[in-house]
Amino acid sequence: MKLAIIGVGLIGGSLGLCLKQKLGDKIFITGLCRSQRSMDSAMRLGAVDEASADLQAVVGGADIVYLSPPVLQIVPMVEKILPYLSDGTILTDAGSTKQFIHRELKKILPPKIFYVAGHPMTGREKSGVEAASADLFRGKAYVIAEDPDSPTPPDVRDKLMSILRLTEANFLTIDIAKHDRCASIISHVPHLTAAALVNLLNDAGDDLDSCLKLVGGGFKDTTRIASSNADMWADICMTNGEAIAKHLRDLQNILGDVIRAIDHHDRQAVHDYFARSKARRDKILETVTFDPN
């Protein structure tokens, strides 16, 4: 088995580390990184067997190509590597938005090159292969997003899953449009909100120094994900804009209701706001294991 990883960072590097740990010499992993330093690190850490800036050397003869650059770079990268792909090659990705990539790749992929839309629901606020871990996927949700109008051939899916299941992630298959709507609510809007809280602090003016002295665990925990990669999140907003903008407006309406309740000294409405959110989160905690990373 030859696996090519395009973008050997946190996600791609973690996949490489996991598969080398599980399969050893039964799999040969090549990697493309943005810099020589990253390629050297990927080799040193054992995430890939060979790292190169030569696209043909990386993807030529690959059974599976795992695409893990920022979302807006995925389609241009596929255009570059297409001449070097063999019939039967499976492309999959780790992008946080799926409809945009799926729609654009359908326009350019030949019939015997297959794309399976994937999204590992895991990560850290740190990026780069140095932050990678062989157990990053273990126990985390990993979505395979399907277009009901063009389902993945069973043999293609089985071949890909025989590798991905070694990550010990919890796999689920959902409609590709539903994936983007749900990802907006549970991932994309929370990241934007965390960034907004940090920007609110940054705009505190004369109070900034005093606020910084008071920063504690609550603010740190709430805004942890604001330290995520800016390029990645800008691309996500550009490729899932409809859902994100809608949910941000929904959030704006919710905050507007709270603002009006506070302005009118309506303690019961404010109390109900907190009570509803507590009840929902407590129920989630009973059934969902949160990713500590």
Q: Where a domain ends, among 156, 175, 194?
A: 175
The pLDDT of residue 166: 97
Domain boundary among 151, 175, 199: 175
Question: Does 225 share its domain with 165?
Answer: no
Count of the separate structural domains present in the chain: 2
Q: Which helix (H) or strand (E) holds 194?
A: helix 189-202
Between strands 141-146 and 170-175, the pairing is parallel
Residue 292 lies in a domain: no
Tell me what pLDDT residue 290 has.
52
157 in the same domain as 237: no
Can you give the CATH number for the domain in which 23 is found? Answer: 3.40.50.720
Residue where a domain terminates, one of 175, 208, 234: 175
Do 184 and 131 fall into the same domain?
no
Claim to verify: residue 192 and residue 171 sit in the same structural domain: no
Residue 116's domain comprises 2-175
Same domain, 97 and 195: no
* Residues 157-194 as b or e (16 or more Cβ within 10 Å = b): bebbeebbebbebeeeeeebeebbbbbbeebbbbbbbb
Residue 293 lies in a domain: no
Residue 184 lies in a domain: yes
Specify the CATH number for the domain of residue 228.
1.10.3660.10
Is 19 in contact with 163 (CB distance < 8 Å)? Answer: yes
What was the pLDDT predicted at 288? 65
59 and 100 in a single domain? The answer is: yes
Tokens 């409609």 identify what position? 175
Q: What is the pLDDT, as a whole number, of residue 293?
A: 44
Contacts of 250 (CB under 8 A, 6+ apart): none
Distance in angstroms (rounded) separating the CA atoms of residues 292 and 110: 41
Is the distance from CB of 111 to CB of 139 less than 8 angstroms? no
Residues 202 and 77 grouped into a single domain = no
One-letter amino acid of 79: E
Whether residue 74 is contained in a domain is answered as yes
Place of tokens 């994937």: 118
**Type of residue at 93:** D
Same domain for 68 and 119: yes
In this prediction, residue 78 carries a pLDDT of 97
- Here the tokens at position 28 are 């040969």
In the structure encoding, which two tokens stand for residue 141, read together?
Answer: 């949700």
pLDDT tens digit at each of 293 positions of the chain: 999 999 998 999 999 999 999 999 999 999 998 788 888 888 999 999 999 999 999 999 999 999 999 899 999 999 999 999 999 999 999 999 999 999 999 999 999 999 999 999 887 767 788 888 999 999 999 999 999 888 899 999 999 999 999 999 999 999 999 999 999 999 999 999 999 999 999 999 999 999 999 999 899 999 998 988 888 899 999 999 999 999 999 999 999 999 999 999 999 999 999 999 999 999 988 876 555 44
What pLDDT score was predicted for residue 291?
52
Q: Which pLDDT belongs to residue 266?
A: 98
Does the residue 125 lie in any domain?
yes
* pLDDT at position 125: 65
